Chain A
Amino acid sequence: MSPRPDSDDIRRRVKRQLGPDATTEMVESVVRRVEALSDGSGEDLSTDLRSMPPEQKDAGGDRLIIAVFGVNQPGIMAGVSQILSRHRCNILDISQKLMQEFFTMILVVDLTGADTTFEQLQQDFDKLGNSLGIKIYAQHEDVFRALNRL
């Protein structure tokens, strides 16, 4: 087990996770729960984060949209989901379609609770994409929101 992080460290990490729009109250409330959790006295943290109002979660939300395109072959879906599961990323939505011999898949993935960074994931996807000869694009959901929604 890793050494117990101090409160300031937790606070910094929580702030990072919640994003720029997080209020001091939000940060403090999560930090208290994390501390209680590591004492063994708290409830499950993940449900609390998920039940936050969507606009607060979305503000700095860590959701990716992943699009996969390529010639259909065994191992595409397995490869992508293995990477996600290895890093504890939660798949929120998935749509998959075959267009003639082309495999297309779009996933919405939650990185909250993941043990990796966006960049690391991208590297893993690039590696998989190269080995299968397919294209995997991962992009932060904030970019989709900014470019498409009023």
Chain B
Amino acid sequence: MSWTTTEILETLRMTEVEHLDIRTITMGISLRGLTGGDAASAAQRVYDRVSERAGSLIETVDRLSRRLGIPVANKRVAITPVAVAFDNLGRDGLVQIAQALDRAAANVGIDYIAGYSALVDKGSTRGDEDLIASIPEAIGGTERVCASVNVASSRAGINLDAVAAMGRVIKRLAEATRDRDAVGCAKLVVFCNVPEDNPFIAGAFHGISEPETVINVGVSGPGVILDTVRRAGKADARELAEQIKLTAFRVTRAGELLGRRVAADLGIPFGIVDLSLAPTPEPGDSVGEVLKAIGLEDVGAPGTTAALALLTDAMKRGGLMASSSVGGLSGAFIPVSEDAAMVSAVQKGHLSLEKLEALTAVCSVGLDMIALPGDTPAETLAAIIADECAIGMVNHKTTATRLIPVPGKTVGDVADYGGLMGQAPIMAVSTLSPARFISRGGQIPQPVTGVRN
């Protein structure tokens, strides 16, 4: 096979100059078949299974990543929703499972393990209720375990009782980790239409229709896309979309290549590539910067929603052409804390919670890493979750919230988490009360477009 100079230079530019990397390679592990006996013995079996299956994950990914010259930022594990696998253990038993997961994650050398989860969009079992009630203790008392709860779907509607419960759980989790700016809440995601194969922490879990073990890949690439947009110069919108699409193709191919090699080496199936643009606090690795490069004075300016729609759709087109194994969230993440340009826009007053909500309608995933005043009432948190669920439910897309009411802090303060999570400026939230609405409880019926067949 012969190579043209253009192909060689394009590839080298992406890998060597623009530092193309893969955001995460996540191993999904089924925890089914581990029940029976008391909580302590179930917890030991959980520890053993995760340790055994993920034992060589890091070594394998690192070796193949060096061989192909494509760095991988994170190696992580997702597990069967714990409320599904262990619905009979009761609240204290579930906390023991969380602790076993924490130890297993440390043992195999990963920073996060996700799947302390429940799926309650149409109603809760006793096990689901136990798990939700245990979250403040389970997540507040562990370092590496991440939780998620799916409270709504386009098929079932919005479980308003679960939404209200999540508002209260978030408050208690914030209180449980108040000495570290409520960092526990950064490890809890509330979803509508949660995908079962999302490789991105904190909302990952190993869905109940997944195989025993699987490798999923989350691509990254804001830096590479940023460079593409800058090089496109004054291209019109269609040409700009075309350029982003071509770059997305390449990024996806790199992710799938590495993911398939890792899966083959470990002897397990390859699952999906998630085409999400995932920023980090590193300069230039920012979705906000991409939006600015498209032509906005700052994120939050009128036009931000349209620019984000252009960006995410172009990403998807390139990715879908590149791989027939696309899944997960496949959107653009606009977390406020992990993206330097987003943080700056909030601090300058250019980006409000309401504008962020609008952006989530055009395919960013949701209100992610939003730090709020510590005295925000539980009903207000629940109502923000309900709004986000409504956008996802009606538009048949995944939406999520990661809200952090930081105890003792208010607008103008900053919550600092360090590392990948970065800094989160406290955002202003409306003080109008939704309490009477939230306290109605019950189920918001699915939209008419949710009744399909």
Could you list which residues of chain A lie within 8 angstroms of chain B, going by C-beta atoms?
20, 54, 58, 65, 67, 93, 95, 106, 108, 118-119, 137-148
> Once the chains bind, are A95 and B16 in contact (CB under 8 Å)?
no
Interface string of B1-20 (1 = CB under 8 A from A): 11101011111101110000
The answer for the CA separation of A129 and B370 in the assembled complex, in Å, is 46
- Interface SS of B by simple majority: helix
20 contacts between A and B (CB under 8 A): A20-B264, A20-B265, A65-B3, A95-B5, A137-B12, A140-B67, A141-B1, A143-B11, A143-B15, A143-B257, A144-B3, A145-B1, A146-B253, A147-B10, A147-B11, A147-B14, A147-B254, A148-B7, A148-B11, A148-B250
Instruction: Provide the residues of chain A in CB contact with B260, threshold 8 Å.
Output: 20
> Once the chains bind, are A140 and B68 in contact (CB under 8 Å)?
yes
Instruction: Provide the residues of chain B in CB contact with A93, threshold 8 Å.
Output: 2
Instruction: Provide the residues of chain A in CB contact with B261, threshold 8 Å.
Output: 20
User: Number of contact residues on B: which range applies?
Assistant: 20 to 34
Interface string of B31-63 (1 = CB under 8 A from A): 000000000000000000000000000000000
A-B contacts, CB under 8 A, total: 62
**B16 nearest CB neighbor, chain A only:** A137
**A119 nearest CB neighbor, chain B only:** B66
> Once the chains bind, are A144 and B5 in contact (CB under 8 Å)?
no
Does B283 count as interface, using CB distance less than 8 angstroms?
Answer: no
Does B70 count as interface, using CB distance less than 8 angstroms?
Answer: yes
Q: Kindly provide the distance from the CB of B11 to the nearest chain A CB, expressed in whole angstroms.
A: 5
Instruction: Provide the residues of chain A in CB contact with B254, threshold 8 Å.
Output: 143, 146-147
The answer for the CA separation of A118 and B106 in the assembled complex, in Å, is 31
Given contacts A20-B265, A65-B8, A67-B12, contact A147 B1 (CB under 8 A): no
Instruction: Provide the residues of chain B in CB contact with A137, threshold 8 Å.
Output: 12, 16
Instruction: Provide the residues of chain A in CB contact with B14, threshold 8 Å.
Output: 147
Instruction: Provide the residues of chain B in CB contact with A145, threshold 8 Å.
Output: 1
Given contacts A58-B1, A93-B2, contact A106 B8 (CB under 8 A): yes
Does B303 count as interface, using CB distance less than 8 angstroms?
Answer: no
The answer for the CA separation of A142 and B3 in the assembled complex, in Å, is 12
> Once the chains bind, are A144 and B253 in contact (CB under 8 Å)?
no
> Once the chains bind, are B10 and A118 in contact (CB under 8 Å)?
no
The answer for the CA separation of A147 and B6 in the assembled complex, in Å, is 12
Other 14 A-B pairs with CB < 8 A, given A108-B3, A144-B11, A148-B11: A67-B9, A106-B8, A137-B12, A137-B16, A138-B69, A139-B11, A140-B67, A141-B1, A144-B7, A145-B1, A147-B11, A147-B14, A147-B250, A148-B250
The answer for the CA separation of A144 and B7 in the assembled complex, in Å, is 7
Taking a contact as CB atoms closer than 8 A, the residue among A54, A106, A140 that contacts B69 in the complex is: A140
Taking a contact as CB atoms closer than 8 A, the residue among A140, A141, A146, A148 that contacts B10 in the complex is: A148
Instruction: Provide the residues of chain A in CB contact with B70, threshold 8 Å.
Output: 143
Q: Kindly provide the distance from the CB of B146 to the nearest chain A CB, expressed in whole angstroms.
A: 31
Taking a contact as CB atoms closer than 8 A, the residue among A108, A118, A146 that contacts B257 in the complex is: A146
> Once the chains bind, are A142 and B68 in contact (CB under 8 Å)?
yes
Taking a contact as CB atoms closer than 8 A, the residue among A106, A118, A139, A147 that contacts B253 in the complex is: A147
Instruction: Provide the residues of chain A in CB contact with B16, threshold 8 Å.
Output: 137, 139
Q: Kindly provide the distance from the CB of B72 to the nearest chain A CB, expressed in whole angstroms.
A: 14
**A143 nearest CB neighbor, chain B only:** B68
Instruction: Provide the residues of chain B in CB contact with A20, threshold 8 Å.
Output: 260-261, 264-265
Q: Kindly provide the distance from the CB of A140 to the nearest chain B CB, expressed in whole angstroms.
A: 5
Does B161 count as interface, using CB distance less than 8 angstroms?
Answer: no
Instruction: Provide the residues of chain A in CB contact with B12, threshold 8 Å.
Output: 67, 137, 139
Instruction: Provide the residues of chain B in CB contact with A119, threshold 8 Å.
Output: 66-67
The answer for the CA separation of A54 and B1 in the assembled complex, in Å, is 9
> Once the chains bind, are A67 and B265 in contact (CB under 8 Å)?
no
**A108 nearest CB neighbor, chain B only:** B3
Does B256 count as interface, using CB distance less than 8 angstroms?
Answer: yes
**A117 nearest CB neighbor, chain B only:** B67
Instruction: Provide the residues of chain B in CB contact with A144, threshold 8 Å.
Output: 3, 7-8, 11
The answer for the CA separation of A119 and B62 in the assembled complex, in Å, is 12
The answer for the CA separation of A100 and B5 in the assembled complex, in Å, is 18
Q: Which 3 A-B pairs have the closest CB atoms?
A: A20-B264, A146-B257, A146-B253
Q: Kindly provide the distance from the CB of B264 to the nearest chain A CB, expressed in whole angstroms.
A: 4
The answer for the CA separation of A63 and B10 in the assembled complex, in Å, is 18
